[in-house]
Amino acid sequence: MKLEIGKIVIRDIQFSDITKIDQGILHINKEEMIAELSTDMRIKSIDLDIAKPGEDVRIIPVKDVIEPRVKVAGSGGIFPGMISPVDTVGSGRTHALKGMAVVTTGRIVGFQEGIIDMSGEGARYTPFSKLINLVITCEPIDKIDAHEHEEAVRMIGLKAATWLGMLGKDLEPDELLTYETKPLLEQVAQYPELPKVVYVYMLQSQGLLHDTYVYGVDVKKIIPSIIYPTEVFDGAILSGNCVSACDKNPTYVHQNHPIIEDLYALHGKEYNFLGVVITNENVYLADKKRSSDMTAKLVEFMGADAVIISEEGFGNPDADLVMNCNKISAKGIMTVLMTDEYAGQDGASQSLADSTPAGDAVVTGGNANQLIVLKPMKKVIGHPEAAHKIAGGHQGSLREDGSIEAEIQLITGSTSEVGFHNLSAKGY
């Protein structure tokens, strides 16, 4: 599959009388957009705010972050199986509105949601503080079921990103990038002298608001599958989970997946990037065994020499990560693991819930238990009291002056297990 991504850089967002993109400025008719999104009877009210880098603004609790995109050429549409009909995506041309995102918030859905600070110490830990964010506050009706609440907010975010993405359909992009992965036998033959690399992409699927969707299907209902990397860029995978904010992959991260982008960067130069195996993170042991068996089988079937494996979440999924590592390594295939750590606030505890001697090449996204104090903000979009409930916080996290004492676990993207974050290591 061959996919072109046309980048349309958004330099500012303003509320206006007409909705359009003009010279890099996204103008939004606020009333028109609210009317467009106000079709779900499970949502009582919708409001829009703009949060810009450097502003004294806090967004809490964050449900999802989404980049507006639109299909310009090729089969299917954005978010197939959710917004668009179920057609295979990943080919043709897609335009993306860069430098901005749609962020959904409102009354807390699940305790593992997050915070985005647009300035201060908290902004240093989240990559989304660098974006111009259109924040949609979705307040549900009373006594709504948590799963209904999650679905309603998720769909509003996807609809908003699709509606805004359409504005870029006929614009000339500022930059055009091309990604291509050929059918497997052709891909292997193209660079026979280079090591063959596969990416094993573990997707959160534990249920209890811990869900991810592929072509509209809940991932806990799938068996591991081979997909083209370009399908990921085209919205085939999206977030529906409320897991700890620090290592959750919002939809924006799936759309701009850094591991896949990096693998493409050196494809044909240092290695032959064959493709992606998606797999789930199940709760029961039998399901974990089934998925890890099949993942190892697919990687072997593809003829991989080396594999990168990333997980999403922590604790229970650590067992899936270790199973995948053990079974792939046993086939003589080199593995590199990507995870983060929950090593206690002093960093002295065991980092993962499971481990293996085969896991001898590991990249960490940082310690999610690291303690931080977030400054008070002049403007809070959402519900600041959620800081008492969000994973990483505690009763008393929100102080009287509006500051928050908590672990970086509650900052969206702070310890990303696919590397979509700002933390780095420093040698001594």
Q: Give 239-291 pLDDT, tens digit per residue.
A: 998 889 999 999 999 999 999 999 999 999 999 999 999 999 999 999 999 99
How far apart CA 31 and CA 421 sit, in angstroms, is: 34
Residue % of the chain over a pLDDT of 70: 99
> Would 175 be classed as within a structural domain?
yes
How far apart CA 58 and CA 40 sit, in angstroms, is: 26
Mean pLDDT, the chain, rounded, equals 96
Q: How far is C-alpha 389 from the chain's CA centre? A: 22
DSSP state of 141: P
> Would 260 be classed as within a structural domain?
yes
How far apart CA 86 and CA 239 sit, in angstroms, is: 17
The 10s digit of each residue's pLDDT in 227-241 is: 999 999 999 999 998
The pLDDT of residue 110 is: 87
> Would 423 be classed as within a structural domain?
no
- Side-chain-side CA neighbours of 336 within 13 Å: the count stands at 13
How far apart CA 114 and CA 128 sit, in angstroms, is: 12
Beta strand pairing call for 64-66 and 43-51: unpaired
> Would 179 be classed as within a structural domain?
yes
Across 107-228, the runs of DSSP E, i.e. the strands, are: 114-117, 132-140, 175-180, 196-204, 212-214, 217-218, 225-227
The pLDDT of residue 238 is: 97
325 given a catalytic annotation: no
The 10s digit of each residue's pLDDT in 160-204 is: 999 999 999 999 999 999 999 999 999 999 999 999 999 999 999
| Residue (of 265, 275, 246, 281) closest to 420 by Cα position | 246
> Would 392 be classed as within a structural domain?
yes
> Would 331 be classed as within a structural domain?
yes
> Would 20 be classed as within a structural domain?
yes
Q: What average pLDDT does this structure show over 130-139?
A: 98
Across 10-144, the runs of DSSP E, i.e. the strands, are: 12-15, 20-22, 25-28, 43-51, 57-62, 64-66, 69-73, 92-98, 100-105, 114-117, 132-140
The pLDDT of residue 424 is: 80
Q: What average pLDDT does this structure show over 112-133?
A: 96
Find the domain containing 250 and state its range.
2-410
Q: What DSSP letter does each residue of 156-187 carry, written as one string? A: HHHHHHHHHHGGGTTSPPSEEEEEE---HHHH
Number of structural domains found in the chain = 1
How far apart CA 97 and CA 28 sit, in angstroms, is: 14
Write phi, then psi, for 63 (nearest 5 degrees): -90, -55
DSSP state of 41: T
The pLDDT of residue 243 is: 83
Asked whether residue 422 carries a pLDDT value surpassing 90, the answer given is no
| Residue (of 156, 57, 55) closest to 109 by Cα position | 156
Please give the single-letter amino acid code of residue 77. Answer: G
The 10s digit of each residue's pLDDT in 330-349 is: 999 999 999 999 999 999 99
The pLDDT of residue 242 is: 85
How does residue 428 score in pLDDT terms, banded at 50, 70 and 90? low
Helix (H, G, I), strand (E, B) or coil at 295: helix
| Residue (of 238, 218, 217, 231) closest to 76 by Cα position | 231
